[in-house]
Amino acid sequence: MDSPLWIYCIGFSAQIFYTGRMLVQWYLSEKHHRVESPGSFWVLSIIGSMILFVYGVLRQDFSIIFGELLSYYIYMWNISAKGLYRRTPRIVPVLQALLPVAACVLLFKDIPEFAQNFLRNEDVPLKLLILGTAGQFIYKMRFVYQWIYSVRHKESTLPLAFWIIAVTGSLLIIVYGVIRHDWVLVLGQFGIVASIRNIMIALSAGKRDEKVS
C-alpha cells in the first residue's frame, strides 16, 4: 500500500491546490455572508485535478483517476461560464480538453495490463476498490449536480445540495484513505470543514431571504 515519498509529494501538491480553492471560496463566502463561486475556485480545481490524476496513476488507484475524470470537464465548463477563457490564448482550453483524452489513450492502450494494475491490484481488494470508487463517485457527483443546477440557472454557482453531497463523499473517502494508508486522500478532505460551514452559510442566507420576502 505504501509508495515512494516522491509520489506522495505529487499527491500533496495536488491537495495544496484543492485546499487553496476551498480556503479562497470559504473566505469570500464568510466576507459576503453568502455562498460564493469565485473563478479562482475553478482554476485551482482544474490544476489540482490534473496533478491528482497523475498521482492516481502512480498509485495505481482506479478510484482516484475515475473521480478526476468525472469532474474535469465540469471544471472547464465553469471556467468558461466565468468568462475566464476569454483572457487566455485559444490554445489553452483546447489543450486542456485534449489532455484527459491523451491520458486515457495511454492508460487503455493495453486493456489487460490496465485491468491487472488498476482493477485487480493486490493492494486494493475488490471490496476496498468498490468503497473507494463509491466515495469518489458520490464526492464528484456534487459537480455533476452543480453543473446541472448552474445550467438551469444560467450562472456558475455552488448550491446547498453541492455541499451536502460533498460531506457524504468526504466521509467515505476518509474511510477509504485510512484503510489504504493514503494520507494524501485523508488530509485532502480538510475541505469537509469548509463544506459544513458553507451549509451553515447557505441556510442562514436562505433564512435572511425569507425574512426579506
- State yes or no: pLDDT of 186 exceeds 80: yes
Q: What is the span of the domain harbouring residue 21?
A: 5-212
pLDDT at 124: 82
pLDDT at 126: 84
More confident residue, 212 or 41: 41
pLDDT at 1: 54
Mean pLDDT of the chain: 93
Distance CA 134, CA 34 (A): 30
Quick one: average pLDDT of 123-142? 91
165: enclosing H helix or E strand: helix 160-179
Burial category of 23 from C-beta neighbours within 10 Å (exposed 0-12, middle 13-18, buried 19 and up): middle
* 120 confidence band (pLDDT: 50, 70, 90): confident
pLDDT at 166: 96
How far, in Å, are 88, 133, 138, 166, 190 from residue 173 at the CA level?
Answer: 34, 9, 10, 10, 11
- State yes or no: pLDDT of 96 exceeds 60: yes
Give 188's contacts (C-beta < 8 A, 6+ positions apart). Answer: 11, 14, 15, 18, 19
* 122 confidence band (pLDDT: 50, 70, 90): confident
pLDDT at 213: 60
- State yes or no: pLDDT of 211 exceeds 80: no
Q: How many domains does the chain have?
A: 1
How far, in Å, are 21, 24, 113, 193 from residue 31 at the CA level?
Answer: 15, 11, 50, 17
Give me the percent of the chain exceeding a pLDDT of 70. 98
Distance CA 53, CA 61 (A): 9
pTM here?
0.91
Contact 66, 137 (CB under 8 A): yes
Q: What are phi and psi of 212, to 5 degrees?
A: -65, -45
* 212 confidence band (pLDDT: 50, 70, 90): low
- State yes or no: pLDDT of 53 exceeds 70: yes
Give per-residue pLDDT as tens, 55-88: 999 998 999 999 999 999 999 999 999 999 999 9
pLDDT at 93: 96
Contact 136, 58 (CB under 8 A): no
